[in-house]
Structure 1
Amino acid sequence: MNLPLVARLLGMVAWLIGATMAFSLPWAFPAFGAGQDRFEKDGFLALVASMCVCAIVGWGLRRYGDDKSDDQSLFRKEAMAVVGLSWVLATILGGLPFLLGRVAYRSDEGKPVAMGIADCLFESQSGFSTTGATVLTAIENPDWVPRCLLFWRSSTHFLGGLGIIVLFVAILGHGSAGKAMMRAEMPGPNKEGSQERMQHAAWTFAGIYVALNVLLAVLLKLEGMTWFEATCHSFGTMATGGFSTLDTSLGGFESPLIEYTVILFMLLAGTNFTLIYLACLGKPMSLLRDVEWQTYVGIILLASAVIIVAGMWGRSDFAPEDTLSTGDELELAFRDSLFQVVSIVTTTGFGTSDFDLWSDTSRAILIFLMFVGGCAGSTGGGMKVIRHILFVKIIGREFERAYHPSVVRHIRLGGESITDPDLTRQILTYVGLVAMIFVTSWIALVAIEPAETWRAAQQPEANELIDSAGAVAATLHNIGPAIGIVGPTRNYAYFTAPAKLLFTFLMMLGRLELFAILVLVLPSFWRVR
C-alpha cells in the first residue's frame, strides 16, 4: 500500500471540501436572501473555522505524501483506499460546522440541545451519502440552525450526489488512477471502460447533474420558493438526498405544482445518466428501450396503483372522509402515492404526507421499495434495479437447472446474452452481503438501544423490532425516513450515540456499495504490495 500517495490525494479532497464551504458563507448575511434579518455570526465563524481546519488537514496530508515518496503509481488498492477514506474524511470535516456553530435540536421538554459529536457525524454522513436522515428539529428557527449552516447541510447533498471522487476525476484527471477511482465510486454492477471513456463519463455525469440542478432551482423559484429554498431543494432532489428547509419537508409548501415538478426530477435523478445523455443527443429510444428503465418505471407505476387502491378502499389514507370532492380526493391520492413511491424508490426521502398513518398494505409496499433503489449510473442509492433484474434471472436459471442439470443457458438482458461468469458471482455476493449486514445490524440495534428510546419518542404504537428494522433499512439503503419512530414526521434524534454511529457506518456502506468501506477493516488490505 502506497500510503504517501493515498495521503497526497486525501489532502486534495480535504481542500475540495473546505473550498465548497465558501459557497455557504454569503447566506449568513441578511442581504443575500436567506430569510433572516440579522448577520449569523456563529454560523459564519463556524464555517470559516472549518475551512481553516480543512486547509490545515489538507496541507498536513499533502506534506506527508510529498515528503515520503515520489511514486505516482495508483493501483486498485490505493484507489479503493482513497475512495473509502475520502468518505470518512468528508464525514469528519463536513460535521465540523455543525459542531462549531452550536447547532441545536429540540429536546423532549422543548428546549434546545446542542449537537454532540455523534450527531454531527450522523448529519454530515447523511448529507454526503444523500440519505437525508436527520437529528434536527425546528430547522426553521435560525437561532437553533443558522441559515448558512442549513445551506451547507444541503450542499453536502450536492457533493455526495455528484460523488466526491467523480468530481475529483472530472476536474483533476490522474490518468489510470481516475479509472480506478471511478470504478470504485460509481454505483452499479457495470463500470468498466477505457481511461478516456471514464474521464469523459465523469465530465458528462457532472455536466448533466449540474444542468439539472440549475434547471430545477429556476423552476422552483418560479413556482413560489425563495432562491434559498429553491437551491436547497434542488440539491436534495437531484442528489436523491431529501434534506429540506422545513420541518414538514416539501409538504409544508402546500403546492401541487411544486410536488409534481419534484416528482419529475426525482424520476430523472433515479435514471441512468448515460440514458439521459443519449436522450439529450436526440436518441430518446435508448431510454425507452432500456430494460432497467422500463422495470424502474413499471415498479413505480404498479406500486403507486396498489397504494391508491389500498388507500381509497378504506377512504382514510389520503384525506378524511367527506372533506374533499371525489375528483379532488382521487387527485390527492394519485399525487401522494406517486410522490412517496418515487421518493422512496429513488432513495430521496422527501415527504408530503404522513405515510406512517397509511394502511398496513401501503406501508408494507413502501418498506419493500426501500430495498429496490434507482438505476445504475444514477444518483439514487439502494441495491439498484439492474441487480434485482439479474438476481431474478439467476434464480430462474437455477430453478431450470434443478430439473435440467445438463442445460447450459446464458442470462439474457435486453436481447443480449451475458457471458461473464463473474457477474453472477458478483450479484449473488452483493445480495447475500446486503442481507447479512441488514440482519446483523438489526440485531445489533435492538441489543444496544435501550427501551427508553421508544418511550421518549412518545409514540404509543412504537414497535422496537419493526421500527429498528425500518431504521436499518432506511440508512443502509440511503432512504432517510422509514416508519414508526423514524417515520416521515419524526427523526433519528431519539437514538443514543452508539446507534447514531452505527447508522453513520451503514449510510457510508450503502453509498459506496459495501466493498470500498469493508476492505478498510481488513489487515491484509494495508500490507505492502
Structure 2
Amino acid sequence: VVIVCSLLSADSGITTTTVLFVAVLPSLGAGGKKLFKIEAPGPEPKGVRPHIRETARFLWLIYVSLTLIQIIAYKFAGLPWFDASCHALSTLATGGFSTQNGNIGGYDSRLVSIITIVFMVIASMNFGLIYAATRGRLRIIWEDSEFRCYLFLLAIGSVVIVCSLLSADSGITTTTGTIQPATIPNVLTQGVFTAVSIQTNTGFTTANYNTWPFVAKAVIVMMMLIGGCAGSTAGGIKIIRVWLAFRIMLSELERAFRPNVVRPLKVGKSNIDPELKLATIAYVLGVLVLFSIGAGTLMVLESGNPKCNIATAATASIATICTVGPGFANVGAIENYGWFSDASKLFLCLLMAIGRLEVFAVLVLITPRFWRST
C-alpha cells in the first residue's frame, strides 16, 4: 500500500498539470497565460498552439498509453506485472521510486535498463512536442531548439562519463554491491543510464557513482542542476532557461566590446523579449541562492552529525530542489536520507515541494496582484 501511494504521489506532477490546464487556467484569463508561461518558459514550437482543454485531455491519453506500453515492455523483459506497473508509473512521472532495494540495478538486466532509458528520455521531453508528434508533425520536434540541446547534453554527458569510467579502468560497483568488470558493454550501459537518469531528474540508479572519477561526478552534478525540458515532469532549472541564460551572457559580452551593435536575441526563429530575459536570469539565480540556503541550513541543523559533511549537504540540497533523489557522499546512490534529524527531513520535504511545483509558480499563485483583473 505504501509503495502504491508513493507512486501515485509521484504521478501527481502529471495530474496537477492536467487539472491546472483543464480547471484552473481557462478561468484565469490573462493570469492563466502568465502562469502557463512560468510553467513552460521560452518560445513555443511553431505549430504547437492547441487549446488548453484539448491539450490536457490528449496529454492524459498520451501518458496512459506510454505507461501501458512501458508496462508491456517491462513484462517482456521478465519483470512481474506489479514491478512493471510500479516502475512504469515512476518513470513517466520522473519519480525514481523502485520496488527493489537495489533500484533498477536490482534486476541486473541490461534490457530493463535500456527500456528505462528510452522512457526516461520521453518523460523529460516538452509535452507540447509529444502532442505534436502524435499529430504527425514530427518535423516540429527536430526544429525545436530546446529538444536539440536536450539530446546534445544527454550525448555529451554520456560520452564524458563513459570515457572517464574507461580511463579509470576499475570495476563498477552496482547498487546491489556486486562489482562488474569495466568492459565496454558494462561501462556503456552504466554510464548512459546514469547520465539519462540524472539529466531527466528521474533518479533511478544501477551503480554506486560515489566511487566514480571526479570528472564523472562533476558532470553528474551539472546535469542535476540543468534538468529536463520545460513543460515536462522533470525538475531542475530546465534546459531552455540554461540555454537562454547562456545566450544572454554571450549577448552581453558582445555588447561590452561592441556597444554600437544591436543584435536581437533569438532562440530558433523566436525573438526573446527583455521581460523573458530578466525572468530567466532571476530564476537561475533564484535556484542557485535556494541551493546555497538549503546546503547551509542542513549544515546548521546537522551540526553535531559527522555524516553531514559539505558534500552531503550540498548534493542533498541540489538533489531535493531538482527532484533527483540521490546525491553524493552519505546521500549517494546506495545511501538514503533516513539518518537525518526530523527537522532536516521536514526542511528537505519543503525543498522537494518547491522544486516539484516550480518555485516561481507557487509564489505567483499566492501573490494578490496575480488574481486582480488585467
TM-score between both structures, scaled by the size of structure 1: 0.64
2:39 maps to which of 176, 187, 197: 187
Kindly provide the amino acid, as one letter, of the partner of residue 237 in structure 1: T
SS at structure 2 position matched to 1:430: helix
User: Which residue does the alignment assign to 2:320?
Assistant: 475
1:176 maps to which of 20, 27, 33: 27
SS at structure 1 position matched to 2:51: helix
Q: Is the 8 A contact 1:317 1:358 kept in 2?
A: no
Compared CA separation, residues 521 and 365, structure 1 to 2 (3 A): same
User: Which residue does the alignment assign to 2:82?
Assistant: 228
1:283 maps to which of 122, 131, 137: 137
User: Which residue does the alignment assign to 1:504?
Assistant: 349
Shift of 1:190: 4.1
Q: Is the 8 A contact 2:209 2:333 kept in 1?
A: yes
Kindly provide the amino acid, as one letter, of the partner of residue 51 in structure 2: R
User: Which residue does the alignment assign to 1:448?
Assistant: 301
Shift of 1:284: 2.2
Shift of 1:269: 0.5
User: Which residue does the alignment assign to 2:207?
Assistant: 353
What is the rounded CA distance, in whole Å, between the counterparts of 2:98 and 2:30 in structure 1?
34
Shift of 1:514: 0.9
Superimposed CA distance per residue, residues 266-320 of structure 1 (whole angstroms, 9 cap, x where no aligned partner): 0001111221222233332222232111111111111111111111112115369
- Residue pairs, 1:136-285, within 5 angstroms: 148-160=1-13, 162-167=14-19, 169-170=21-22, 172=23, 175-177=26-28, 180=31, 184=35, 187-190=39-42, 197-285=51-139
What is the rounded CA distance, in whole Å, between the counterparts of 1:179 and 1:198 in structure 2?
13
- How many residues are aligned here? 366
Q: Is the 8 A contact 2:48 2:132 kept in 1?
A: no
Shift of 1:165: 4.6
Superimposed CA distance per residue, residues 83-114 of structure 1 (whole angstroms, 9 cap, x where no aligned partner): xxxxxxxxxxxxxxxxxxxxxxxxxxxxxxxx
Compared CA separation, residues 325 and 426, structure 1 to 2 (3 A): closer
Compared CA separation, residues 479 and 183, structure 1 to 2 (3 A): farther
What is the rounded CA distance, in whole Å, between the counterparts of 2:76 and 2:371 in structure 1?
56
User: Which residue does the alignment assign to 1:318?
Assistant: 172
User: Which residue does the alignment assign to 1:491?
Assistant: 336
* Unaligned segments of structure 2, at least 5 residues: none
Kindly provide the amino acid, as one letter, of the partner of residue 370 in structure 1: M
User: Which residue does the alignment assign to 1:72?
Assistant: none
Q: Is the 8 A contact 2:226 2:236 kept in 1?
A: yes
TM-score between both structures, scaled by the size of structure 2: 0.89
What is the rounded CA distance, in whole Å, between the counterparts of 1:527 and 1:287 in structure 2?
35
What is the rounded CA distance, in whole Å, between the counterparts of 2:192 and 2:87 in structure 1?
18
What is the rounded CA distance, in whole Å, between the counterparts of 2:244 and 2:21 in structure 1?
29
What is the rounded CA distance, in whole Å, between the counterparts of 1:287 and 1:316 in structure 2?
39
1:305 maps to which of 154, 159, 177: 159
1:438 maps to which of 288, 291, 304: 291
- Residue pairs, 1:62-81, within 5 angstroms: none
Q: Are 2:273 and 1:428 aligned?
A: no
Provide the alpha-carbon RMSD of the alignment.
Answer: 2.8
What is the rounded CA distance, in whole Å, between the counterparts of 1:491 and 1:284 in structure 2?
41
Shift of 1:240: 0.6
Q: Is the 8 A contact 1:372 1:385 kept in 2?
A: yes
Shift of 1:174: 7.4
What is the rounded CA distance, in whole Å, between the counterparts of 1:195 and 1:325 in structure 2?
50
Q: Are 2:234 and 1:389 aligned?
A: no
User: Which residue does the alignment assign to 1:30?
Assistant: none
Compared CA separation, residues 337 and 519, structure 1 to 2 (3 A): same
- Residue pairs, 1:89-100, within 5 angstroms: none
Q: Is the 8 A contact 2:228 2:238 kept in 1?
A: yes
User: Which residue does the alignment assign to 1:332?
Assistant: 186
SS at structure 2 position matched to 1:370: helix
Kindly provide the amino acid, as one letter, of the partner of residue 230 in structure 1: A
